Structure 1
Amino acid sequence: MNTRMVTSMYFKKHRKLWICLWTLGIFMLVTIAVKKYAFMDCDLEDQYQKVYTLNKNCRQSLYASLEILPLNQINCSKIMRGDVEALEEALLDRLLITNKRASITEEDYFNMTVDCKKYKKMRKFLTFSQSKEEEDFPIAYSMVIHEKIEMFERLLRVIYTPQNLYCVHVDEKSPEIFKKAVRAITSCYDNVFVASKLEKVVYASWSRVQADLNCMEDLLKSKVQWRYLLNTCGSDFPLKTNAEIVRTLRSLNGKNSMETEKTPAYKKRRWQYHFEVDTSVIQTKTKKNPPPANVTMFSGNAYIVISRDFVKSLFQNPHVKELIEWEKDTYSPDEHLWATLNRMQGIPGSVPLHAKYDMSDLNAVARLVKWQYDAGNINMGAPYSHCRGTYQRGVCVFGIGDLPWLLQQHHLFANKFDPKVDNNAIQCLEEYLRHKALYGKEL
């Protein structure tokens, strides 16, 4: 009996087995091909702008790789819900020297940003839009910083999306290595740049306002038709995702949002006298002329949410330009210029002079701050409880225990945060915001 006959008889005898094996093989090949097709674009390069159109499996795989998780064993989900045991464990963790990590240095950022693609992937930047709604509503940011390179990068990472625009003003007095590290980071993004003109910023002087104005002017030159501008500093951190910020800004319907109230008597000297600037701001005995055009002065703070048309008016409206010029020798002009402009008739997004339109910092959406002199027992009339971190110049540097309260507020950003005071507070906010941005639900 030859070989061919043996093979034929063997095949006939085991025909059903061979058909089963053949069918199984075809099924496995098809399954592999389907999975390969489903996941082949999950690393996304050319489709980052349309991630919300991808299939569910692809998005899940991508999103899992972009979650920002704490480096230690704290339970941020429980902390956000006010779980006492989880909060106590996080507080203990903060005190343990063995759990303290070294900050990322300027030199580290030089090395990481040599390969921008690798850097963005390693540091888990969201380089794609999450929705069509966000794509259609770009936001501009003015970021005024002077130190703490890692804190700047973490802030940028949590607010970054490809359709927004980010101008970074670095204090001219900052060390060269810091300025170079900022430029190294910004060089990896087409929509993040350092301001074309840098100021030597002196606390409570005009230079702080000028830093924002420099960024505003640069941002207006961009082809990106951003809708609103938010200004930040290096100790800020958001309380909302980009999608939530977009929805809040849409609801403003062209109005600005900032603190703007009647000026307390003790603050009036800030613009009644001429101040000179050296390494600090010094009051002289020279009285200033009243504000131009009979302008009524209001009190506020440096952090604002303003429409694109409001920003344009700063460089185009002659009355606004006149007030800006008059403000340049005042004390802490950022705490009265913006508030006053937002009550001037004819200024885009402004509100009338009447006291019914006064807005406190707690009612505005721009910035949430716990002031030491306001904190106390809520049941006794205080607006909020005491800081769970520490106070710096009368302002709370938030601790992990402040997070449940912070997340109940409507503000877009909060100030202040410092990883040296409580890095766990920042870590949990990072995890919370990234999880909510990716999955649309709380941690």
Structure 2
Amino acid sequence: MSQLRASRPGLGVCVVICIFLFLYLRNPVPEDPEEGPTSAGGLECGFYPDELCSALFEGKPAAPQLAKFCKISHQSQILAHLHTSGNCSGISQGLRFITKPLSAEEGNFPLAYIITVPKEPASFVQLLRAVYAPQNAYCIHADREASEQARAAAQTLAGCFENIFISSEREKATSAAVTRLEADINCMEDLAHPKFQWNYVIKLCGQDFPIKTNREVIHYLRSRARDKNITPVKAPKATSTTRPRRPDSSAEEPTHVSPNRRAHAEPPHNITVYSGSAYFALTRKFVEFVLTDIRAKDLLQWSKAVERPEQHYWATLNRLPDAPGATPHAAWEGHICAIKWRNEEGRAHNGCKGHYVQDACVYGPGDLPWIIRSPSLFAHKFESSADPLVVTCLERWHRRQVLEQAEVPLEPQWHFQEERPFP
């Protein structure tokens, strides 16, 4: 009896250990996710589930607990590749840049881009790798208003890719000052160097994202533009102080735009001034004309007294009959950038599913079906800080379109990791 009492404490310890082992084996500790940390909510991170993105593109509502996770970690992973890869090869592979022309057609028709760095560095990296092709040229305007992180990201990428460079002149690209226009022209002067061979230059800002692949952009420029410039013009009764709007269907011809009140003189050379979009696709010959023609130079000087000069400068010069690639009678032609304007709700679109900033929609996940159905080449505007899921899903969808159109063997690192295949 005394022997039995002495063994009871040891028996109790044994029972406790057995219960613990049973529970542990029944519910093992989950393995670490394949990539990325965990979010604040404790959910697995690294990339968004592809079935969630597919549901959003189909217009299906996503479960709130899925739509809200990984808000920060995905962006931090993008930036981590810029600092931890150790060399340019590691950065290129880690960020999944496409490093070869994907078809002979693309290799023989290079493009140039002017891109303004935004405040959000991860958004800039996502935009750049989406439009990147090794045969193209990219002039990056490192805006003084951009964050230090964003400028550092641009500098790192420019140091790793010969066809990416920072503009030799920096201007504070504010929306209401001539310096934004001068920043574009500074980039054009750099791109005009003979070492860069390109057919069209396209202007983008850091809050844009492509809807069409590089190959589709080329098809559009060849079939629709046909060596002509694309500089959309506003509807009649527009003024040089208003934001660009798509004209009503009844509007056939653009009209003269009165000089801004701040201008103390009429436009030089008796030029008729038109108002339009700050977005453009310009031929190389037209860019050379802008950099050398006395009318272009004098109009630039005159524009320093006008608000938002980038919204009339390109549209005006493109309507000079003797300008290369000019379209003197064009109206709002050319689907360069899709924007949901507040005053077009119910007519041109079904409303903003994100939120409006200065009457332009900052896209939410519910806008994705409308975006990918748009005939435009690019879309504006995105803010990763508001909802990174929108750009992440769009980026993965866009990369699939790019790789499906490729006519060369695909490199493994060009694929984004997928949790489950798209339907």
TM-score (norm 1): 0.73
**5+ residue gaps, structure 2:** 1-45, 243-256, 407-421
Q: 2:52 is matched with which residue: 75, 83, 94? A: 75
- Provide Cα deviations, 1:329-375, integer angstroms capped at 9, x if missing partner: 2100011111111211111121124xxx311xxx4221111111221
Amino acid at match of 1:79: L
Q: 1:346–1:161: structure 2 CA closer, same or farther, 3 Å change rule?
A: same
Q: State the Cα deviation string for residues 215-248 of structure 1 (Å, max 9, x = none).
A: 1110111413200000111100000011111111
Partner residue in 2 for 1:214: 186
Q: Per-residue CA shift, 1:8-59, capped at 9, x if unaligned?
A: xxxxxxxxxxxxxxxxxxxxxxxxxxxxxxxxxxxxxxxxxxxxxxxxxxxx
The partner residue of 1:153 within 120, 125, 128 is 125
Cα distance change, pair 420–432 in 1 and its aligned pair in 2 (3 A): same
Q: Alpha-carbon deviation of 1:78?
A: 4.0
Q: Quick one: which of 281, 285, 292 aligns to 1:309?
A: 285
SS in 1 for 2:387: helix
Distance in 2, Cα, partners of 1:242 & 1:265? 33
- Looking at structure 1, the residues matched to 65 and 277 of structure 2 have their Cα atoms a distance apart, in angstroms, of 35
Q: Partners of 1:176 and 1:437 in 2: how far apart?
A: 31
Contact 2:81 2:94 in 1 (8 A): no
Task: Determine if contact 1:201/1:208 at 8 Å carries over to the other structure.
Answer: yes
Q: 1:137 aligns with which of 109, 112, 120?
A: 109
Cα shift at 1:173? 4.1
Contact 2:173 2:180 (8 Å CA) reproduced = yes
Please state which structure has a larger fraction of its residues in helix.
Answer: 1
Q: Which residue in the other structure is 2:341 paired with? A: 371
Aligned to 1:391: 356
Residue-by-residue CA offset, 1:104-133 (whole Å, 9 max, x unaligned): 289735523531111111111111110000
The aligned counterpart of 1:282 is none
User: Do the aligned residues in 1 keep the contact of 2:181 with 2:309 (CA within 8 Å)?
Assistant: yes
Query: C-alpha displacement at 1:416, in angstroms?
Result: 0.1
Report 1:324-339 matches (<5 A): 324-339=300-315
Contact 1:139 1:227 survives alignment (8 Å): yes
Q: Deviations over 1:56-113 (max 9, x none)?
A: xxxxxxxxxxxxx94335433343233x2xx333x5533x3x4433332897355235
For 2:201 and 2:378, how far apart are their aligned partners in 1? 13
Residues 250-289 of structure 1: pairs in structure 2 closer than 5 A = 250-251=222-223, 252-262=225-235, 264=237, 266-267=239-240, 272-273=259-260, 275=262, 287-289=263-265
Q: Equivalent of 1:323, from 278, 290, 299?
A: 299
- Whether the 8 Å contact between 2:113 and 2:139 is mirrored in structure 1 is yes
1:425 to 2:399 alignment: no
For 1:100, the equivalent position in structure 2 comes to 71
Cα drift, residue 152 of structure 1: 0.4
Correspondence 1:405 to 2:382: no
* Contact map agreement 2:138 2:165 (CA 8 A) in 1: yes
Q: CA deviation at 1:274?
A: 5.8
Residue aligned with 2:342, SS: coil
Residue pair 2:120, 2:147 contacting (<8 A) in 1 also: no
> Cα deviation per residue 1:119-165 (whole Å; 9 max; x = unaligned)?
11111111111000000000000011241111101100111110000
With 175-184 and 298-307 compared, the bigger mean Cα shift is at 175-184
Q: Distance in 2 between matches of 1:264 and 1:70?
A: 47
Instruction: Read off the aligned partner of 2:232 and give its amino acid letter.
Output: E
Deviation at 1:271, TM superposition (A): 6.2
C-alpha RMSD of the superposition: 2.4
Q: 1:289 to 1:370 in 2, by over 3 A?
A: same
Matched, 1:240 2:240: no
Q: Residues 74, 99 of structure 1: CA spacing in aligned structure 2 closer, same or farther, 3 A cutoff?
A: farther
For 2:105 and 2:357, the matched residues in 1 are separated by 39
Q: Where do 5+ consecutive residues of structure 1 fail to align?
A: 1-68, 276-286, 377-381
User: Is residue 145–residue 171 contact of structure 1 (8 Å, CA) maintained in 2?
Assistant: yes
SS of the counterpart of 1:166? strand
TM-score by length of 2: 0.76
C-alpha separation in 2, matches of 1:106 and 1:207: 31
1:391 offset after TM fit, Å?
0.8
Q: Deviations over 1:266-325 (max 9, x none)?
A: 5479963464xxxxxxxxxxx521111221111111111111111111111122222122
Tell me the SS of whatever aligns to 1:100.
coil
Give the structure with higher Rg (CA): 1
Matched residue of 1:193: which SS? Answer: strand
One-letter identity of the residue aligned with 2:317: L
Give secondary structure in 2 for the equivalent of 1:245.
helix
Q: CA deviation at 1:430?
A: 1.0
For 2:145 and 2:352, the matched residues in 1 are separated by 31
One-letter code aligned to 2:231: M
8 Å CA contact 2:231–2:334 kept in 1: the answer is yes
- Once residues 268 and 260 of structure 1 are traced to their aligned partners in structure 2, the CA distance between those partners, rounded to angstroms, is 14
Question: Quick one: structure 1 residues 117 and 195, their matched pair in 2 at CA, closer, same or farther if it must change by over 3 Å?
Answer: same
Give the aligned residue type for 2:230. Answer: S
Counterpart contact for 1:113–1:188, Cα < 8 Å = no
Whole-Å Cα distance in 1 between the matches of residues 70 and 145 of structure 2? 33
How many residues get paired?
347
- 3-state SS of the aligned residue for 2:286? helix
Cross-structure match for 1:346: 322
Q: Which amino acid aligns with 2:312?
A: H
Structure 2 counterpart of 1:112: 84
